């Protein structure tokens, strides 16, 4: 798979310590991500655990999110090791998360599944964007631009994680690079 | 270079004489554990990537423990256990603890230990973030996702970055009313929920050495709530006695080298630790129990890997004996062995079961994760409305135990039992003699 270096679309803004129970509450963990219709279903529940009154990531009754970019503060994805978390965001149409820092297992699961680019920002961006703003991430230039305000912010490089996600995850990357045989 | 315990385990598992923090190394896995929530997805990836007829790298090293959604009428949950059952049969995996049979155990992290799968010096991965609990046995143990687990199923290896080590020493003796839960909540309050991210958290000092295995497990269980990759404690006679009673397998503990480098070190005077509570909605929202006496609770919960072990119930019974609970109090033994223990262990000549019944607790006969993580709507003890719950579990994120309207306070079994009796958050010193 060749991946574009640019991700453009509306941003969904969140705060600090967004945990995996808010990303995909445990009552939906009966869904198995490798079963196609249950993968879709996980997407429909992405971020349904946010406090009541918070804007919805996926419109009620829908399966896809109008927000390809999630913007958050510190320690995004803390809590459980459930791979359902990056999968739910990816299944809903999420392409990238931009956060100040990540919980370790969530970051690793993003890379292993290839569902989402977990990009780090060296500065706090949650006050520089509003939910619904158009933005563009350039993974080659390591930058995000708020197209409403025209302001551009530097991001940290993804380094070795990027080609793994570009390829579509750990197994696809390992096949592409000859680490494991092409067909099982 | 002198190495920490974590570095020594990872060096051995990767066939090197030395590793340093930041090194990326392929480690050979001693045990891979999965359960009913992440097992089916892991198996799906394994089949997709390694082929329909693929074999796991070593059936003896795979341990499958259904524990999350067992006592529910949800069809998908039953389907998921069927997927595990079929895979175990097909692959000839001996270490499977099937639902509805005498082999059923309950909460995976406690069952792993009770069944002898946690051994000093080894490497354990599990598809559950609280896999770090096994660090209490001087292991490298950490949680992973389905994709990494599927990779291990096929190859027996995983790429790991060697974490730098944080060291926490507790000198002297903990007061008798202080439990391991207070200790780890205190530490998480100090370092914050991301204070240990990417790091190993090593615990030592005289006060830690005096802890039982169950209490050491509580400390290591919650390193993930501080963001930690793994927790680890020295192996000693307490460890050896527990492990040797449960497995014939040989093991080789590790001891940190003198002068090993730590990225962070803190010494505590154990006698200064007080009953500690994490307020909603974060495990680092620390307060002293005695500061929260005005907080009314509507229910109490004792259970989970962290807080549903036999010692946890013994401690709760010490507080509840001869008293009645003032609010709904749900008790869930972590494993079937613990459920049996409630009928055999005694405090003051009465069984725990009798003490809890007389106190008016709601006691589940079924060992499982239950309401620690909410789960299906019909889960025992699940929060389904604006409840204020004090709980021995490990997480209090919004909606963690069910309804988003719920508020969860995390505390030790002593503090939870005392609060259940009074109906408000209560420092156990008020009730303990």
* CA angle (B70, B279, B389) in 5-degree steps: 45
Distance of alpha carbon B102 from alpha carbon B33, whole angstroms: 20
What residues of B are in contact with residue A52 (Cβ under 8 Å)?
A: 404-405
The C-alpha R_g of chain A, in whole angstroms, comes to 16
The parts of chain B modelled with pLDDT lower than 70 are none
Are both B224 and B309 inside the same structural domain? no
Q: Domain boundary residue among B241, B268, B295?
A: B268
Look up the CATH number of domain A6-176: 3.20.19.10
* A127 contacts A72 by C-beta, under 8 angstroms: no
Residue A95 main-chain phi, psi, to 5 deg: -110, -35
CATH code at B50? 3.30.499.10
Q: Which of A30, A49, A79 minimises the CB distance to B80?
A: A30
Are both B184 and B290 inside the same structural domain? no
Distance of alpha carbon A59 from alpha carbon A43, whole angstroms: 11
Q: Which of B51, B55, B146 to mutate to test the interface with A (most CBs of A within 10 A)?
A: B146
What residues of A are in contact with residue B226 (Cβ under 8 Å)?
A: none
Helices (H) and strands (E) in chain B, counts: 14, 20
| DSSP per-residue codes, B114-149 | HTT---TT-EEEESSGGGGGGGGGT-EEEE--HHHH
Q: Helices B336-344 and B352-359 sit at what angle, rounded to 10 degrees? A: 80
Burial of A76 (0-12, 13-18, 19+ CB in 10 A): buried
Number of domains within chain B: 2
Residue linked to tokens 């270490």: B95
Interface A-B, measured as beta-carbon pairs within 8 A, has a size of: 132
Distance of alpha carbon B125 from alpha carbon B160, whole angstroms: 11
* Paired tokens of B26: 């392929």
* Paired tokens of B308: 């549903």
**Considering only alpha carbons, which residue of chain B is nearest residue A49?**
B399
pLDDT, residue A1, reads 41
Q: Domain boundary residue among B268, B300, B325?
A: B268
Question: Each residue of B269-287: pLDDT tens digit?
Answer: 999 999 999 999 999 999 9
Are both B225 and B83 inside the same structural domain? yes
* A85 contacts A20 by C-beta, under 8 angstroms: yes
B400/A21 touch (CB, cutoff 8 Å), yes or no: yes
Are both B247 and B295 inside the same structural domain? no
Are both B148 and B288 inside the same structural domain? no
Asked if A184 is an interface residue toward chain B (Cβ–Cβ < 8 A), one would say: yes
Asked if A160 is an interface residue toward chain B (Cβ–Cβ < 8 A), one would say: no
* Paired tokens of A99: 């956060």
Are both B291 and B222 inside the same structural domain? no
Are both B176 and B318 inside the same structural domain? no
pLDDT, residue A179, reads 82
Q: Which of A29, A81, A169 minimises the CB distance to B129?
A: A81
Are both B286 and B371 inside the same structural domain? yes
Asked if A77 is an interface residue toward chain B (Cβ–Cβ < 8 A), one would say: no
Is the ipTM value over 0.90, yes or no?
Answer: yes
What residues of B are in contact with residue A82 (Cβ under 8 Å)?
A: 37-38, 145
A22/B399 touch (CB, cutoff 8 Å), yes or no: yes
Q: Which residues of B100-135 are buried (b: 16+ CB within 10 A; e: fewer)?
A: eeeebbbbbbbbbbbbbbbbbbbbbbbbbbbbbbbb
pLDDT, residue A183, reads 67
B240: nearest Cα among B227, B225, B250:
B250
Question: Each residue of B290-336: pLDDT tens digit?
Answer: 999 999 999 999 999 999 999 999 999 999 999 999 999 999 999 99
Length of chain A: 184
Distance (Å) from the alpha carbon of A148 to chain B's nearest alpha carbon: 32
Q: Which of A17, A27, A78 minimises the CB distance to B374?
A: A27
Which residue range(s) make up the domain with B10? 5-251+260-268
The parts of chain A modelled with pLDDT lower than 50 are 1-2
* CA angle (B65, A48, B195) in 5-degree steps: 65
Are both B217 and B284 inside the same structural domain? no
Pairing of strands A96-99, A69-71: parallel
Looking at the DSSP bridge assignments, the partners of residue B124 are: B31, B141
pLDDT, residue A3, reads 63
A171/B127 touch (CB, cutoff 8 Å), yes or no: no
Are both B113 and B197 inside the same structural domain? yes
Q: Which of A79, A101, A113 minimises the CB distance to B395?
A: A79
Q: Domain boundary residue among B235, B268, B301?
A: B268
Distance of alpha carbon B99 from alpha carbon B67, whole angstroms: 8
H or E segment to which residue A117 belongs: strand A117-120
What residues of B are in contact with residue A109 (Cβ under 8 Å)?
A: 145, 147-148
Tell me which long-range contacts B112-117 makes (C-beta under 8 A, separation of at least 24). B112/B31, B112/B33, B112/B63, B112/B65, B113/B137, B113/B213, B113/B217, B113/B242, B113/B246, B114/B246, B114/B335, B114/B337, B115/B63, B115/B246, B116/B243, B116/B246, B116/B247, B116/B249, B117/B31, B117/B33, B117/B63, B117/B247
B69/A52 touch (CB, cutoff 8 Å), yes or no: no
Mean pLDDT, chain B, whole residue set: 97
Q: Is B179 left (phi over 0), alpha (psi -120 to 50) or beta?
A: beta
B147/A32 touch (CB, cutoff 8 Å), yes or no: no
What residues of A are in contact with residue B67 (Cβ under 8 Å)?
A: none
Are both B364 and B296 inside the same structural domain? yes
Distance of alpha carbon A86 from alpha carbon A115, whole angstroms: 6
What residues of B are in contact with residue A42 (Cβ under 8 Å)?
A: none
**Considering only alpha carbons, which residue of chain A is nearest residue B222?**
A79
**Considering only alpha carbons, which residue of chain B is nearest residue A113?**
B147
Asked if A120 is an interface residue toward chain B (Cβ–Cβ < 8 A), one would say: no
Question: Each residue of B2-30: pLDDT tens digit?
Answer: 999 999 999 999 999 999 999 999 999 99
Whether omega before B281 lies within 30 degrees of 0, making that bond cis, reads: yes
The C-alpha R_g of chain B, in whole angstroms, comes to 21
Are both B106 and B187 inside the same structural domain? yes
A33/B146 touch (CB, cutoff 8 Å), yes or no: yes
B399/A25 touch (CB, cutoff 8 Å), yes or no: yes
Distance of alpha carbon B299 from alpha carbon B402, whole angstroms: 14
| DSSP per-residue codes, A35-59 | SHHHHHHHHHTTTTTSPTTSPPSS-
Distance of alpha carbon A22 from alpha carbon A52, whole angstroms: 11
State the CB neighbour count (10 A cutoff) for residue B346.
Answer: 14
């Amino acid at each position: 798979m060749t991946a574009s270096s640019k991700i453009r679309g509306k941003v969904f803004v969140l705060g600090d310590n967004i945990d995996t129970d808010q990303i995909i509450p445990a009552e939906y963990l009966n869904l198995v991500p490798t079963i196609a219709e249950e993968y879709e279903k996980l997407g429909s529940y992405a971020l349904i655990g946010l406090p009541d009154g918070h804007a919805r990531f996926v419109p009620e009754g829908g399966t896809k999110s109008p927000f390809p970019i999630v913007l958050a503060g510190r320690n995004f994805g803390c809590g459980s090791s459930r791979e359902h978390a990056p999968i739910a965001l990816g299944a809903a149409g999420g392409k990238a998360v931009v956060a100040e820092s990540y919980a370790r297992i969530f970051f690793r699961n993003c890379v292993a599944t290839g569902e989402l680019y977990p990009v780090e920002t060296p500065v706090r961006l949650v006050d520089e964007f509003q939910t619904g703003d158009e933005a563009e991430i350039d993974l080659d230039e390591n930058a995000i631009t708020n197209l409403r305000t025209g302001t551009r912010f530097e991001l940290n490089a993804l380094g070795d994680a990027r080609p793994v996600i570009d390829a579509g995850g750990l197994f696809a990357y390992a096949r592409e690079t000859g680490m494991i045989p092409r067909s099982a | 270079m002198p190495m920490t315990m974590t570095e020594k385990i990872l060096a051995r598992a990767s066939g090197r004489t030395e590793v340093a923090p930041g090194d990326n190394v392929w480690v050979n896995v001693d045990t891979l554990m999965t359960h009913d929530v992440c097992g089916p997805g892991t198996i799906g990836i394994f089949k997709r990537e390694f082929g329909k007829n693929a074999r796991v790298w070593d059936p003896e090293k795979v341990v499958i423990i259904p524990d999350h959604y067992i006592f529910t009428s949800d069809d998908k949950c039953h389907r998921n256990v069927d997927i595990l059952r079929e895979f175990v049969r097909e692959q000839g995996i001996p270490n499977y603890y099937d639902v509805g049979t005498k082999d059923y155990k309950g909460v995976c992290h406690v069952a792993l230990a009770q069944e002898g799968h946690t051994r000093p010096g080894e490497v354990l991965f599990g598809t559950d973030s609280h896999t770090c609990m096994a660090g209490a046995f001087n292991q490298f143990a950490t949680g992973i996702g389905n994709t990494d687990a599927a990779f291990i199923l096929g190859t027996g290896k995983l790429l790991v970055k060697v974490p730098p080590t944080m060291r926490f020493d507790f000198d002297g003796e903990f007061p008798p009313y202080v439990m391991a839960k207070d200790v780890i909540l205190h530490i998480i309050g100090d370092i914050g929920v991301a204070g240990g991210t990417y790091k190993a958290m090593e615990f030592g000092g005289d006060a830690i050495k005096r802890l039982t295995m169950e209490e050491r497990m509580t400390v290591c269980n919650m390193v993930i709530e501080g963001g930690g990759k793994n927790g680890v404690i020295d192996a000693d006679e307490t460890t050896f006695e527990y492990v040797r009673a449960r497995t014939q397998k040989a093991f080789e503990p590790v001891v940190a080298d003198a002068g090993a480098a730590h990225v962070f070190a803190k010494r505590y005077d154990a006698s200064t630790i007080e009953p500690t509570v994490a307020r909603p909605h974060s495990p680092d929202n620390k307060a002293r129990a005695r500061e929260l006496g005005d907080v009314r609770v509507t229910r109490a919960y004792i259970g989970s890997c962290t807080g549903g072990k036999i010692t946890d119930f013994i401690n709760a019974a010490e507080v509840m004996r001869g008293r009645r609970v003032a609010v709904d109090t749900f008790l869930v033994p972590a494993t079937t062995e613990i459920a049996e223990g409630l009928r055999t262990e005694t405090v003051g000549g009465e069984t725990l079961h009798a003490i809890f019944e007389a106190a008016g607790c709601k006691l589940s006969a079924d060992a499982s994760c239950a309401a620690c993580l909410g789960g299906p709507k019909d889960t025992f003890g699940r929060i389904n409305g604006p409840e204020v719950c004090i709980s021995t579990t490990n997480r209090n994120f919004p909606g963690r135990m069910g309804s988003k309207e719920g508020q969860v306070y995390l505390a030790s079994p002593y503090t939870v039992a005392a609060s259940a009796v009074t109906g408000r958050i209560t420092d156990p010193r008020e009730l303990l003699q």
